[in-house]
Amino acid sequence: MKKNHEKHSPKQLKESQISGDVKQKLERLRHQLDRIDKEIVSLLTKRQEEVERVVALKKAHNIPVYHPAREENLISHRRHQGIALGLDPDYIEELYRRILRQSRVEQTAQMAQTGVRAGASILIVGGLGSMGQYFHHWFANAGYTVRILDRDDWSSAGQLCEGVELAMISVPIEITETVIKKIGTYLPKNCVLADITSIKEKPLNAMLGAHDGPVIGLHPLFGPTTSTMDKQIIVVTPGRDLHACRWLVDQFSAWGSIILQVSAEEHDDIMSIVQSLRHFATFTFGQFLCRKHVDLSRSLEFSSPIYRLELGMVGRLFAQDPSLYSEIIFASPKRRSLLKEYLSSLTENLEMLEEGDKGLFKTEFRKIAKWFGPFSEQAMRESTYLIDKLIERF
């Protein structure tokens, strides 16, 4: 069969074997493509010039970088235009999402240099930590005067707090409440007190008890390696006098962040699933692979793209600081109780495995699929997109 296939398959010519006439036609076509490519780059440059004008207007009026409705309308129009011209609309959408993201990144980089309350003094408590340094960079670049109070600076706390308009607590979870109580006595009445820990209810209550002025809880859902705040989510949990805290929220919006305002209670309930359970499940999977001495490199040779993606997320966890994840996972008794429930639910499947009960497995599978509902279709689309990107790279 192989020989017949080879016999009837057209043999591809090397470029050196192509006739002179065909070569000339090919060169003319390539020259035309080069000309079009130059035009595309030139148009992108012109587009960027218009973006600069948009940035100037947004900076003058403190308008947020990200405008979801505008972007989705633009994508929709370009998709319809592509269809009308015989182009793949998904290809057009992917191209424009990349163009729009670059536009937002450029805008964010410039907006970062403009402070909503430029010149104001900001104190970052724990400013030598990774997130403290991250926000130090952003606030300083936006024209704020940034001071740092770290573990060896408490003797100067009164002086450092003098005249500050924002005190941001950026310390490990286990000492957050202690630090809040300690700093509260030094803060000016009108100073905004904020924390950026990944739990909100206890720190927020501690801030309300330690400071009589404006209080707000923040949770940036990103880490210090993030190069841009474009479309990065920052959770806001109101404490006291949200109006007085508005300039801080507006500053994050100006940097391109998406603001999600929720109660501290709802935040902690949801983050128990989104962070604590997810990270712990990833940890236990990695722990099992380690104990089984699985040959990761060899497994990847046999892997599907989805396995590579899943293993990549596991490896990503273990490439980072264990203290960060231990704080998130063990942040509260409530979170630890949830993880115990999770482990208990796993043991409930032992009998099904011992009996090889495929019927029970399928029954449970269908029940869960029904619970997931339409999200399963969305998940299929989004994961397929990620898998296709992974294939392109590897």
Please state which of the ranges 44-48, 155-159, 162-166 shows the lowest mean pLDDT: 44-48
Of residues 248 and 69, more confidence is placed in 248
Question: By CB neighbour count within 10 A (0-12 exposed, 13-18 middle, 19+ buried), where does 208 fall?
Answer: middle
CB neighbours (10 Å) of residue 279?
A: 17
Residues 189-198 have a mean pLDDT of 96
- Average predicted confidence (pLDDT) for the chain: 89
User: Coil, helix or strand for 125?
Assistant: strand
Common-topology check for domains 24-111 and 121-262:
no
Q: Which residues of 224-239 are buried (b: 16+ CB within 10 A; e: fewer)?
A: eeeebbbbbebbbbbb
Predicted pLDDT of residue 17: 65
* pTM, entire model: 0.72
Of residues 393 and 291, more confidence is placed in 291
Q: Which of 198, 295, 191, 185 is nearest to 245 (CA)?
A: 191
Predicted pLDDT of residue 118: 87
Predicted pLDDT of residue 1: 45
Residues 6+ apart with CB under 8 A from 376: 369
Q: Which of 69, 66, 110 is nearest to 256 (CA)?
A: 66
Phi, psi of 162 (to 5 degrees): -65, 120
* 317 touches 282 (CB < 8 A): yes
Predicted pLDDT of residue 110: 67
Residue 304 confidence (pLDDT) above 80: yes
Residues 20-25 have a mean pLDDT of 84
Predicted pLDDT of residue 109: 67
Residue 194 confidence (pLDDT) above 80: yes
Q: Is CATH 1.10.760.10 the right assignment for the domain spanning 121-262?
A: no
Domain 24-111, second-level architecture:
Up-down Bundle (1.20)
Predicted pLDDT of residue 350: 94
Predicted pLDDT of residue 111: 62
Q: Where are the domains of the chain?
A: 24-111, 121-262, 267-393
Which runs of consecutive H residues, i.e. helices, occur in the chain? 2-8, 20-61, 68-84, 89-111, 130-141, 157-161, 173-184, 201-210, 242-254, 264-271, 278-291, 296-301, 305-318, 322-329, 333-347, 350-355, 358-372, 375-393
As a whole-number percent, the residues of the chain with pLDDT over 70 amount to 93
Of the pLDDT bands very low, low, confident and very high (cuts 50, 70, 90), residue 3 is: very low
CB neighbours (10 Å) of residue 253?
A: 20
DSSP one-letter string for 309-337: HHHHHHHHHHTS-HHHHHHHHTS-HHHHH
pLDDT tens digit string along 36-84? 999 999 999 999 888 888 878 877 776 776 677 788 888 899 999 999 9
Predicted pLDDT of residue 371: 96
Of residues 300 and 160, more confidence is placed in 160
Residues 311-330 have a mean pLDDT of 91
* 97 touches 76 (CB < 8 A): no
* 181 touches 155 (CB < 8 A): no
Of the pLDDT bands very low, low, confident and very high (cuts 50, 70, 90), residue 324 is: confident
